[in-house]
Structure 1
Amino acid sequence: MLAGLRLSSIALLALVAACGDGAPAIDPSAASTTGGGSSTSSESGAPTSTSNPDDGTTATDQPVTTTAASTGGEPGTTTGEPGTGGEPGTTGEPGTTGEPPLPGCGDTPPADFQAEASAPADGAAVPGPSVDLVVTIGGQLLADATAKFHLREVHALTADDDFTIVILPDTQNYTQFPGNFPQYPAQTKWVWDHRNTDNIVAVLHNGDVVQHGNQQEIEWQRAETAMSTLEKTGTKFPDGIPYGIAVGNHDNGASSHDDVPFATTFFNKYFGVDRFKDRGYYGGHYGNKNDNNWILVRAGNLDIVMVSLEYRGELGQDPDVLAWARGVFEDHPNALGIVNSHHIVKANGDFSAEGKKIYEVMKKVDNVQLMTSGHIKEFRSRRTDNYMGHKIHSMLADYQDLIVPADDCAGGCGYMRIWRFSPAKDQVKVETYSPSLDKSMTGPQEQFTLALDLSAATGVFEVVGEVAGHDAALVHTVSDLKPGATYEWYAIVKECGAKVTTPMRTFTVE
């Protein structure tokens, strides 16, 4: 689930250990990033629940079975590993910050330290445009207590918040064969034509853009022609429709079927850093090439971070690249995280070797919920993995060898994936559609719905103030509140090594 954003009212104090704030983000400083948007990050520790959106049960801290669905494989089962995060504090007792006590605090945190969000009352109507947020302190006060106040405006979700991301599977047989090529620009034209009616916010290409990555430049020229349609500009899209591309084995191979990466000379000539660096949605890249890159878009109040990783075949994923990717997601903890790479899921629903390495890193990054891939021609499969309540849905779709004589089409017949997100329903509906044929596939591997945690679309908590004092109450005044708006808030209060996260409270501005 998105870190700190699945909230519930709590009758008692939620007392959280410092290590429960989550493992620290891996420092990606060894890799360079350029450009990019940013998202406000708040200290974790918001009251949370761990309800399972798929079946309504409550998740525990035990590893859960993994299910896989595919066209030719049985569901698999895996056992998760213990998490690295700390255990939550015991209800009714203060948690510890993990920091050494301050001078005058003694050797251990005070066992009776208490903090409660006392005003405004939960559900109260306040006159605005400002309000005092009050935390009441109890127990032994040996030094100043510090309260950090977190606030968000609550956005009521409706169907108007729905949005779409389009996934382009392997296009190599469109760019290689002129007779098949029209199906590729038909896909991007459909995206542009439906950008407003379907509220399309981004496009991801699974890789294998071309067949002969370092041999036939004409194939890259055809790809550029097709993708350039997405770069038209308009009021809603001043930089064009955001898109990211994963490098496939045919894009970086020395020959048409080389499983060892060779070079990405043509990829970077046509879809390198220079093409994207001035686009507002472009987040950056690893190293000095665009082989591994990321984009950031916003749908309503929801940020979406999409990281595209290069195919590495026999070499396996580079641990430094995976550390960089993890850092990108952890820098945007309130965003929906999506991983795009060429080979994640195999035909039978198992992870590929690369996919397994990617998953082992991403399973401990709370906001990564979707992974998408291609590579395995004429197969579609998917799997859902649950690691200590954190679910990741991984999908494979590749139509490159599809030939339908009755429709007079080959090379994939233009089929692509359409992900239709509904934040109000916490779900994404996956569809498979061909713009050139104006036809959809409706089998269970082509059309299905997945449960997600999109609660961040209701609004993101921001730290609005920090107050320290030795008094029985700590007060922070919030100004410029919107008339008619509803807000939620909580505070993290620390004193002499003890830490309490208050229950979440709601108020409405009159």
Structure 2
Amino acid sequence: MNRAAFRLLFVLLLAFSGGNALAQTHEKPFQSPSLEDEDAWTLVLFPDTQSYVKFQRNQPILDLMVHWVLDQIEPLQVELVLHVGDLVEHNALQIPDGIIADQTGREQWEAVSRSMGKFDQQVPFIATTGNHDFGIKNVENRVSYYDRYFPIEKNRFTRGMLRDHGLDAQGMPTLLNASYEFESPDGDKFLILVIEFAPRDASLEWARELISREAYADHRVILLNHSYLDRNSEFIETEAYPISDRNYGKAVWEKLVKPSKNIELVFSGHIGDPDNPEGHVGFRTDTNAAGRKVHQMTFNAQALGGGWHGNGGDGWLRLLEFNGLEVTVKTFSPLFAISPATRHLAWGTGAYETFTFRLDP
């Protein structure tokens, strides 16, 4: 066989083999998440979990996500786990039809409380509430079962971090409006501020007074507020929910965030677009009254993986690595990462999925 014939045979063998050997040779190997600096620490952000718990078949995906985070506590120095709201799809649904859900509201609360309860002895877990965490199906009123399934006694870390709480619409003490103090491994002081969905004016006033206290003058405040930015990274101005005395993103910015001197991060969820990752996220940076940058991030995934009635969100998490003033944002799916057949899909690679920003000194 001459040299030309041999080369032709070699090319044909490559083309018709079980895989493209050349492509496999040069394929970038899968990399599990790791810290870019050994002195950094990680904040894990959970998106809306409502679609994971409304169908029993999806609940193991949420457990997989939680167990993956637990496995990363030491490798990634996970210090905080936060949740952007809509823990459940239905706060008080009694008769699921098998189409929009096959779990009652109580079963949904029990499922998310059970899953997130795996953090209780391991790492602080703090959540805000979304529209689906109120009313019957979707904020028909301001009654929520959040305090019943996530009482302060539940997580031993957040119990020690709780500094203050507000009142609910019925005038009772609640964790729907609450604050938690946290000191990072590098000594930076944070206050995690939680406010209810579409907060009432009284809740915003409580929050304003709280963060203006001298005790928190040197703290970086992280605000958890469910409905804040839309898919164009613009402030949400209004929504058609049947509740009064309400404030959405633009009003929260104008009444609470912009006038503040120490709110530097805002995390939210809420928005979604079936099977469109860009329709679930937003990010913008503005300047508050003290001239300090406020980085505002919306992260959700609930309609990925098959739309509103799909698998719940393809297992996506946000990993925020804090290295001094620099924060590196990564988007990762433990669901895709668990199998060699799908792990090439486990990293979000778009500019809206992996980026870096800096906090003010």
User: TM-score, normalising length from structure 2?
Assistant: 0.72
- Amino acid corresponding to residue 441 of structure 1 in structure 2: G
SS at match of 2:347: strand
Name 1:445's counterpart in structure 2.
352
SS at match of 1:167: strand
Name 2:316's counterpart in structure 1.
415
Tell whether 2:331 aligns with 1:432.
Answer: yes
SS at match of 2:182: strand
Question: Are 1:370 and 1:394, in contact at CA under 8 Å, matched by a contact in 2?
Answer: yes
Name 2:141's counterpart in structure 1.
261
| Pick aligned residue for 1:292 from 155, 177, 180 | 177
How far off is 1:262 after superposition? Answer: 3.1
SS at match of 1:269: helix
Query: Where in structure 2 are the equivalents of 1:401-412 lying within 5 Å?
Result: 401-403=303-305, 410-412=311-313
Name 2:298's counterpart in structure 1.
396
Name 1:198's counterpart in structure 2.
76
Structure 1 spans left out of the alignment, 5+ residues:
1-157, 233-239, 456-510
For residues 207 and 440 of structure 1, the distance between their equivalents in structure 2, rounded to whole angstroms, comes to 23
SS at match of 2:175: coil
How far off is 1:160 after superposition? Answer: 4.5
Question: Are 2:271 and 2:300, in contact at CA under 8 Å, matched by a contact in 1?
Answer: yes
Name 2:160's counterpart in structure 1.
280
For residues 341 and 245 of structure 1, the distance between their equivalents in structure 2, rounded to whole angstroms, comes to 9
Question: Are 1:276 and 1:282, in contact at CA under 8 Å, matched by a contact in 2?
Answer: no
**1:286-312 deviation line (CA, Å, top 9, x unaligned):** 121221122222112111111111113
SS at match of 1:324: helix
**1:5-51 deviation line (CA, Å, top 9, x unaligned):** xxxxxxxxxxxxxxxxxxxxxxxxxxxxxxxxxxxxxxxxxxxxxxx
Name 2:108's counterpart in structure 1.
219
Question: Are 1:170 and 1:400, in contact at CA under 8 Å, matched by a contact in 2?
Answer: yes
For residues 290 and 393 of structure 1, the distance between their equivalents in structure 2, rounded to whole angstroms, comes to 24
Query: Where in structure 2 are the equivalents of 1:76-115 lying within 5 Å?
Result: none
For residues 210 and 123 of structure 2, the distance between their equivalents in structure 1, rounded to whole angstroms, comes to 21
For residues 329 and 219 of structure 1, the distance between their equivalents in structure 2, rounded to whole angstroms, comes to 33
Structure 2 spans left out of the alignment, 5+ residues:
1-35, 94-104, 168-172, 238-247, 274-279, 338-345
Q: CA RMSD in A?
A: 2.1
Question: Are 2:261 and 2:288, in contact at CA under 8 Å, matched by a contact in 1?
Answer: no
| Pick aligned residue for 2:128 from 246, 255, 261 | 246
- Amino acid corresponding to residue 251 of structure 2 in structure 1: K
Name 1:365's counterpart in structure 2.
260
Larger Rg: 1
How far off is 1:328 after superposition? Answer: 3.1
How far off is 1:449 after superposition? Answer: 0.8
Question: Are 1:295 and 1:305, in contact at CA under 8 Å, matched by a contact in 2?
Answer: yes
- Amino acid corresponding to residue 202 of structure 2 in structure 1: D
- Amino acid corresponding to residue 336 of structure 2 in structure 1: L
How far off is 1:390 after superposition? Answer: 1.8
Question: Are 1:242 and 1:295, in contact at CA under 8 Å, matched by a contact in 2?
Answer: no
How far off is 1:276 after superposition? Answer: 5.3
- Count residues in correspondence: 278
The structure-2 alpha-carbon separation of the partners of 1:297 and 1:252, relative to structure 1 and needing over 3 Å to count, comes to same
The structure-2 alpha-carbon separation of the partners of 1:200 and 1:292, relative to structure 1 and needing over 3 Å to count, comes to same
The structure-2 alpha-carbon separation of the partners of 1:337 and 1:422, relative to structure 1 and needing over 3 Å to count, comes to same
Question: Are 1:170 and 1:206, in contact at CA under 8 Å, matched by a contact in 2?
Answer: yes
Tell whether 2:224 aligns with 1:340.
Answer: yes
How far off is 1:159 after superposition? Answer: 4.1
| Pick aligned residue for 1:168 from 46, 50, 68 | 46
**Structure richer in helix, relative to its length:** 2
For residues 390 and 302 of structure 1, the distance between their equivalents in structure 2, rounded to whole angstroms, comes to 16
Name 2:343's counterpart in structure 1.
none
- Amino acid corresponding to residue 257 of structure 1 in structure 2: N
Question: Are 1:242 and 1:297, in contact at CA under 8 Å, matched by a contact in 2?
Answer: no
Question: Are 1:249 and 1:261, in contact at CA under 8 Å, matched by a contact in 2?
Answer: no
Name 1:355's counterpart in structure 2.
249
For residues 186 and 304 of structure 1, the distance between their equivalents in structure 2, rounded to whole angstroms, comes to 29
- Amino acid corresponding to residue 289 of structure 1 in structure 2: T
How far off is 1:365 after superposition? Answer: 2.1
Higher relative contact order (CA 8 A, sep 6+): 1
How far off is 1:198 after superposition? Answer: 1.0
For residues 387 and 365 of structure 1, the distance between their equivalents in structure 2, rounded to whole angstroms, comes to 6
SS at match of 1:321: helix
How far off is 1:402 after superposition? Answer: 0.7
**Structure richer in strand, relative to its length:** 1
- Amino acid corresponding to residue 326 of structure 1 in structure 2: R
Question: Are 2:45 and 2:317, in contact at CA under 8 Å, matched by a contact in 1?
Answer: yes
How far off is 1:253 after superposition? Answer: 2.5
Name 2:243's counterpart in structure 1.
none
| Pick aligned residue for 1:327 from 195, 203, 209 | 209
SS at match of 1:292: strand
- Amino acid corresponding to residue 253 of structure 1 in structure 2: G
For residues 189 and 210 of structure 1, the distance between their equivalents in structure 2, rounded to whole angstroms, comes to 19
**1:357-391 deviation line (CA, Å, top 9, x unaligned):** 22222223222111011111132111111246321
For residues 321 and 282 of structure 2, the distance between their equivalents in structure 1, rounded to whole angstroms, comes to 18
